[in-house]
Structure 1
């Protein structure tokens, strides 16, 4: 299935909440969810009966849209999480949080996950000193993410250093002056602030 390339604000309206897909715009009065908090389309405002399957599907779609992944990737992550020790739903979210594009976003190098994916694909980052341009790369504790030397003069990254307000994610350590971040622990469920009921996704894929 091809990646969605339409207006991302429609995705937020479809889920009935902000998914923070547009970066800074999501925090302003220009956010379409604030103006039109109903699903897009001519039937968006009509009342619909939500089934158990519908609830499960919406949670799965919400996670896909938060992290910008396709259905095949979502299924792959679920199967991997199911084989891991611990709670499958929490394992799934942990894997998604440890994606390189999400880590770049969490470190503050990008204003959205979509922007982070683009920056990674363009080769602006190294992991443990090696160039990595695959956004879906799963990182681990101890990995060091750094802006490449030639990219440090970019206005984008200079702005990051100037406007850095401190790290709010406990499992990451940020050194803005060095354009560097490090994973110091695995993300716990309490560290993942997206409003998701992951058990519904597990129920959906377990059918």
Structure 2
């Protein structure tokens, strides 16, 4: 399975995003601290950076990203917002947002290893698109694993859920209450630049 293995802190710095967006609160780098200010970026470079930012955050490769954009363009509404919604609705991202994994990379691996069900059926495809009303749960046989067991104990960390997801306290069950909207995106991105890039 193809996956993104780029260094987190270095790549975050190059793309101008906080490592916290990726789930890495303590990662940082001071290498080449003035590298991003050497010259003014062209319009194309700025558009490419926004595209690379989304690809990196969600861990998708070029072909898959292009397919997402084509799907977003076919849907009614604004292509840029549709693209963000498609990426947010990936199962690995939902697992990350629900607090079942510390990073999206971790969530991708957990999904691939068959630890989750959607509406009672096991799903091991990280790119699986969830829908409003879907119920995501950790499978019964995986709940005793330390990684999941500590999510329901007294010392379980409090997770700040986005408005489109809910999770029952003390359980390993989450619900997609609605589809994500543009206002739910918690990082800076200028999706219109990506639309302009693909429109050329």
TM-score (norm. length: structure 2):
0.91
For residue 38 of structure 1, the aligned residue among 19, 33, 39 is: 33
Note closer, same or farther for the CA distance 1:157–1:80 as it changes in structure 2 (3 Å cut).
same
Question: Does 1:197 pair with 2:197?
Answer: no
1:75-114 → structure 2 map (5 Å cutoff): 75-114=66-105
> CA 1:6/1:52 → structure 2, altered by over 3 Å: closer, same or farther?
closer
Gapped regions of structure 2 (runs ≥ 5) = none
Contact 1:16 1:37 in 2 (8 A): no
Tell whether the 8 Å contact from 1:110 to 1:116 is kept in structure 2 after alignment. Answer: yes
Q: Of residues 48, 61, 66 in structure 2, which corresponds to 1:70?
A: 61
Which residue of 1 is the match for residue 40 of structure 2? Answer: 49
Return the alpha-carbon distance in structure 2 between the equivalents of residues 98 and 108 of structure 1.
15
Tell me which residue corresponds to 2:13.
13
Do the aligned residues in 1 keep the contact of 2:151 with 2:170 (CA within 8 Å)? no
Q: Name the CA distance, whole Å, in 2 between partners of 1:103 and 1:150.
A: 20
Tell me whether 1:169 sits opposite 2:170 in the alignment: no
1:3 — aligned with what? 3
Give the conservation status (yes or no) of the 8 Å contact 2:90–2:130.
yes
| CA positional deviation for 1:49 | 2.5
CA gap of 1:22–1:63, structure 2 versus 1, over 3 A, is closer
